[in-house]
Amino acid sequence: MEALPRTVELFYDVLSPYSWLGFEILCRYKNIWNINLHLRPSLISGIMKDSGNKPPALLPRKAQYLARDIRLLRQHLQVPIQFPKDFFSVILEKGSLSAMRFLTAVNLEHPEVLEKVSRELWMRVWSRAAEKAGMSMAQAQGLLGKISTPQVKNQLKETTEAACKYGAFGLPITVVHLDGQTHMLFGSDRMELLAYLLGEKWMGPVPPAINARL
């Protein structure tokens, strides 16, 4: 008898490039490993404030490292990620509140397209090309009209607070629930450790079954 799928939660924000990388790896493995993947749109600014952390891009040496790191990871992970020209205005001034409220509304109303819509938002922020996520304009407009509703605001707040309770100090975090224990892993580079915890096989960031489709 096959064991029941383990619950894995991914808390993410579309402003976080590493969230995109972690998201893509988990989406590639969700049908290979015995897991139920729960996507949890969260607000990185709320987590930073709650933990006393600051965005890495605010520290010049970290910002330089980040730019080089993302270029390498783009090739290694096969995710079309690149820094926006107006990086600082996108990341630090505009923030992600409305985008993450939008994804929260999608999750409440149409959870089946949350993965596609999240990817579309990352494509818009972090890549020049943007493919349509398959939502009609009427659906999208309807959800945009809901981003200021108390239900959506409260849900995003609750999800962000849940991430903080797990010990988040940035995003992404992956939370795995195993045998009554909870393990929180930070960053997109802990997926091999996640495989170890799950007792699953790690086949690199682009597993062979996926590689054939890319």
Per residue in 9-42, pLDDT (tens digit) is: 999 999 899 999 999 999 999 999 999 999 999 9
Kindly state the percentage of the chain with pLDDT values over 70: 86
| C-alpha distances in Å from residue 2, one per residue of 12, 36, 131 | 30, 14, 37
Q: Which of 16, 19, 118, 188 is catalytic?
A: 16
Question: Bigger pLDDT: 132 or 22?
Answer: 22
* The pLDDT value given to residue 89: 62
| C-alpha distances in Å from residue 150, one per residue of 7, 41, 111 | 28, 16, 19
| C-alpha distances in Å from residue 194, one per residue of 33, 73, 75, 210 | 11, 19, 22, 19
User: Residue 99: is its pLDDT beyond 70?
Assistant: yes
User: Residue 130: is its pLDDT beyond 50?
Assistant: no
CATH T-level topology, domain 6-202: Glutaredoxin (3.40.30)
Q: Catalytic: 98? A: no
* The pLDDT value given to residue 28: 97
List the domain boundaries for the chain. Answer: 6-202
Q: Percentage helix, strand, coil, to 5, in the chain?
A: 55, 10, 35
How confident is the prediction for the chain on average, in pLDDT? Answer: 88
User: Residue 131: is its pLDDT beyond 60?
Assistant: no
Beta strands in the chain (DSSP E): 6-12, 35-41, 173-178, 181-186
Per residue in 139-156, pLDDT (tens digit) is: 666 777 778 899 999 999
Q: Among 41, 47, 34, which residue's Cα sits nearest to residue 19? A: 41
Per residue in 38-70, pLDDT (tens digit) is: 999 999 999 999 999 988 878 889 888 988 999
* The pLDDT value given to residue 1: 63
Phi then psi for residue 71, to 5 deg, are -60, -45
Per residue in 167-182, pLDDT (tens digit) is: 999 999 999 999 999 9
Which position has the token pair 């309807």? 142
